[in-house]
Amino acid sequence: MGESGPSARGTPGLHGPAHDQPHHSAVPYVVVWIVLLFFTLLTWYTGTRHLGTWALPIALAIACIKSALVTLIFMHLIDSSGATRLVFVTSLVFVGLLLFFTVADVATRYTPSTPAGAPFGTERSQPEGLLEHEMPEE
C-alpha cells in the first residue's frame, strides 16, 4: 500500500504545535508510587490496630492524601488549567459534605453495642470461652 489515504494526510489540529505536550520525567511517578505504597502499608497497619474513635478520621485522612497524589501527579491535575482545578475542588467540597453529614447522622443515632467476647471495647470480661448465654445456671 502506498502512502495515499486518510492516514497519510497531515492533520494540523492533531499534530501541530498546539497539541504538543511537555514530556514528563519518570522520577515524580516513581516517588509518588513509593509514597502510595507507604500509605497503603500504613492503612493496613492502622487497620490491624484497634484505634477506637480515631480509626475513621485516620483512614479518611490517608485516603484523601492518596487520592490527592493520584489526581495531582498521575492524572496531571497539577498541569491543568484553573477551570479544571476549580471543578475538582468543587467536587471535593461536595464529597466532603456528603461524608460529613453521613457520619454525623450515624454518630448521633445511638451508641453501638460491642458484643460480649469481642477482643476490644468491652469493660467487663467473660470467663474463658463462655458467653453470657452459655454460662451454667447456679
Report pLDDT for 98: 95
Cα-to-chain-centroid distance, residue 73: 15
Report pLDDT for 6: 53
Band of the pLDDT at 60, cuts 50, 70, 90? confident
Residue range 130-134: average pLDDT? Answer: 64
Question: What is the pTM (predicted TM-score) of this model?
Answer: 0.55
Cβ–Cβ under 8 Å, residues 46 and 62: yes
Report pLDDT for 16: 54
Q: pLDDT digits over 12-39, tens only?
A: 555 555 555 667 688 889 999 999 999 9
Kindly give, in sequence order, each residue whose CB lies less than 8 Å from that of residue 25, ignoring residues fewer than 6 positions away. none
Kindly give, in sequence order, each residue whose CB lies less than 8 Å from that of residue 48, ignoring residues fewer than 6 positions away. none
CA distances from 124 to 32, 112, 118 (A): 45, 16, 10
Which amino acid is it at 58? I
Cα-to-chain-centroid distance, residue 24: 25
Three cell numbers, residue 58: 485516620
Cβ–Cβ under 8 Å, residues 73 and 53: no
Which amino acid is it at 22? P
Cβ–Cβ under 8 Å, residues 50 and 120: yes
Band of the pLDDT at 99, cuts 50, 70, 90? confident
